[in-house]
């Protein structure tokens, strides 16, 4: 029974992710990649609060969203959508880029 | 009678001591600290993990030498190929080569492993990962045991510009004279200052204490601290630095130099819908 409960909990976690990590009022900002550029190029987010970035790759090639400053990288295939969690950021600017296509203009996350 | 009992007990203890497995060992082919996150889905990474013992032991089975060849001046190279299977799981194969002092570069063993992350970075208070490895070693030159299983949890926490990684290691001999022994314990840990992408200074810690049930005396355990520089420059990832043994059972000085290249070759699977796969 104990192992059944553990397996059930693991299955629930695998299916839905950890509930404690996604409070209802969490900010989710959308970032699209299309025509070889990020739209919008500036993401405005609240400072000192964790948030999520929903990355929509509307292009025809895989991209790797990457930001050294916030220590995040994510491969998103063509037509795919991915979401990344970002910790609370101090007020300031944090650049991001497509690591697969460095000629694509960089974007900026502005926390304020 | 008491005297006989004491003698018998002493004899038994001596026999146990004599029969103890070899001293605590770590993997000298891989001085690398893995983060909780894995190689991205669809990415192929080729790495060369290199180390040389500049001040080690002139006898086999001492320091980082797990086999009959001494560690002094031993060059070790592991060629590692890793592929990101999913957003949370990667698979890797290693070819271990070594060049002992005065000898030629030769085959020393192979390893296969799976590594995974639990959820995406930042979703949990501490980022979690896991590591499972099967290692075959060429005996008796480079190891005294043929096949070993290694399991590790990985814990990572980013605090400001610092990344802290801790990974306790649990090892079990599957084929070899010590196959009936229990689990060995060790660790791989690191702390890095995320200064810039091209240059991140840090400290890495590697160690092995021996069997969990009866650890080796501290003096015979192996503990190392490495001062490292790592980063990525023009698509090439690197990590290098000197390591210093902290105990009598450790080699004195080891230098490591790891280099890697990543290339996206296409994903086998779609994006993960949960946090485990």
Nearest Cα of chain B lies from the Cα of A85 at a distance, in angstroms, of: 5
Summarised one tens digit per residue, pLDDT across range B17-56 is: 444 445 568 999 999 999 999 999 999 999 999 999 999 9
Check CB contact of A74 with chain B, cutoff 8 Å.
yes
Confidence at residue A1, expressed as pLDDT on a 0 to 100 scale:
42
| Residue pLDDT, tens place only, B6-20 | 545 554 444 444 444
Q: What is the pTM of this model?
A: 0.86
Nearest to A17 among B194, B274, B277 (CB): B274
Checking if the pLDDT of B101 tops 90, the result is yes
Q: Which pLDDT score, from 0 to 100, does residue B235 have?
A: 87
A73 vs B266: CB contact, 8 Å cut-off? no
pLDDT band at B122 (very low <50, low <70, confident <90, very high): confident
Q: Please give, rounded to a whole number of angstroms, the shortest distance from the CA of B159 to a CA of chain A.
A: 10
Mutation for testing the A interface, residue in B37, B88, B89, B123 having most A CBs under 10 Å: B123
pLDDT over 90 for what percent of chain B?
A: 81
- On whether any CB of chain B is under 8 Å from the CB of A88, the answer is no
pLDDT at A24: 55
Reduced 3-state DSSP string for chain B: CHHHHHHHHHHHHHHHHHHCCCCCCCCCCCCCCCCCCCCCCCEEEEEEEEEEEEECCCCCCCCCCCCCCCCCCCEEEEEEEEEECCCCEEEEEEEEEEECCCCCCEEEEEEEEEEEEECCCCCCCCEEEEEEEEEEECCCCCCCEEEEEEEEEEEEEEECCEEEEEEEEEEEEEEECCCCCCEEEEEEEEEEECCECCEEEEEEEEEEEEECCCECCHHHCEEEEEEEEEEEECCEEEEEEEEEECCCCCCCEEEEEEEEEEEECCCCCCCCCCCCC
Choose the closest CB to A18 out of B42, B123, B158: B123
What pLDDT, on the 0 to 100 scale, is given for residue B23?
Answer: 55
User: Average pLDDT of B77-94?
Assistant: 97
Quote ipTM for the complex: 0.78
Could you read off the pLDDT of B144-188 as tens digits, one per residue? Answer: 999 999 999 999 999 989 999 999 999 999 999 999 999 999 999
Contact A62 B270 (CB under 8 A): no
Give the count of beta carbons closer than 10 Å to the beta carbon of residue B118: 20
The predicted structure's pLDDT at residue B20: 47
Q: Do B276 and A14 touch (CB under 8 A)?
A: yes
Cross-chain CB nearest to B40 (options A13, A15, A73): A73
Which chain B residue is nearest to residue A22, measuring alpha carbons?
Answer: B123
Q: Are A64 and B264 in contact (CB under 8 A)?
A: yes
- To test the contact with chain A by mutation, choose from B41, B85, B90, B265 the residue with the greatest count of A C-beta atoms within 10 A, namely B41
Would you call A68 an interface residue with chain B, using a CB distance cutoff of 8 Å? yes
Collect all residues of chain A within an 8 Å Cβ-Cβ radius of residue B266.
62
Hey, is the C-beta of A50 within 8 angstroms of any chain B C-beta? yes
| Segment B248-270, tens digit of pLDDT | 999 999 999 999 999 999 999 88
Contact status of A9 with chain B (Cβ, < 8 Å): no
**Mean pLDDT split into 10-residue runs, chain A, 112 residues:** 46 45 74 95 95 95 94 93 92 96 94 95
pLDDT bracket for residue B5 (50, 70, 90): low
């Amino acid at each position: 029974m104990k192992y059944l409960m553990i397996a059930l909990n693991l299955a629930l976690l695998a299916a839905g992710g950890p509930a404690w990590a996604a409070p209802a009022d969490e900010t989710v900002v959308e970032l699209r990649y299309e025509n070889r550029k990020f739209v919008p190029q500036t993401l405005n987010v609240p400072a000192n609060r964790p948030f999520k970035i929903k990355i929509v790759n509307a292009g025809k090639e895989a991209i790797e969203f990457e930001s050294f400053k916030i220590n995040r990288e994510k491969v998103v295939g063509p037509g795919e959508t991915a979401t990344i969690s970002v910790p609370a950021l101090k007020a300031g600017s944090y650049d991001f880029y497509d690591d697969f296509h460095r000629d694509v203009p960089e974007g900026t996350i502005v926390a304020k | 009678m008491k005297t006989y009992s004491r003698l018998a007990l002493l004899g038994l203890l001596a026999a146990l001591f004599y029969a103890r497995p070899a001293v605590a060992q770590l993997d000298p082919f891989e001085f690398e600290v893995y983060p909780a996150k894995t190689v991205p889905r669809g990415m192929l990474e080729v790495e060369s993990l290199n180390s040389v013992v500049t001040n080690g032991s002139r006898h086999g089975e001492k320091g980082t030498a797990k086999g009959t060849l001494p560690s002094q001046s031993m060059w070790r190279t592991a060629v590692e190929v890793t592929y990101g299977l999913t957003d949370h799981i990667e698979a890797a194969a290693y070819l271990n080569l070594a060049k002992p002092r005065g000898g030629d570069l030769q085959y020393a063993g192979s390893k296969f492993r799976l590594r995974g992350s639990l959820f995406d970075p930042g979703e949990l208070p501490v980022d979690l990962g896991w590591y499972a490895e099967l290692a075959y070693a060429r005996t008796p030159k480079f190891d005294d045991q043929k096949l070993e299983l290694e399991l590790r949890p990985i814990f990572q926490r980013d605090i400001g510009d610092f990344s802290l990684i801790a990974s306790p290691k649990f090892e079990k001999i599957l084929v070899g004279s010590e196959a009936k022994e229990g689990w060995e314990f060790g660790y791989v840990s690191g702390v890095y200052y995320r200064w810039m992408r091209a240059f991140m200074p840090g400290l890495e810690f590697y160690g092995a204490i021996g069997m969990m049930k009866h650890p080796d005396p501290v003096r015979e355990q192996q503990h190392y601290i490495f001062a490292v520089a790592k980063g990525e420059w023009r698509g090439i990832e690197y990590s290098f630095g000197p390591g210093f043994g902290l105990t009598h059972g450790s080699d004195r000085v080891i230098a490591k130099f790891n280099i890697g290249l990543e290339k996206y070759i296409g994903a086998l699977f779609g994006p993960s819908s949960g946090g485990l796969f």
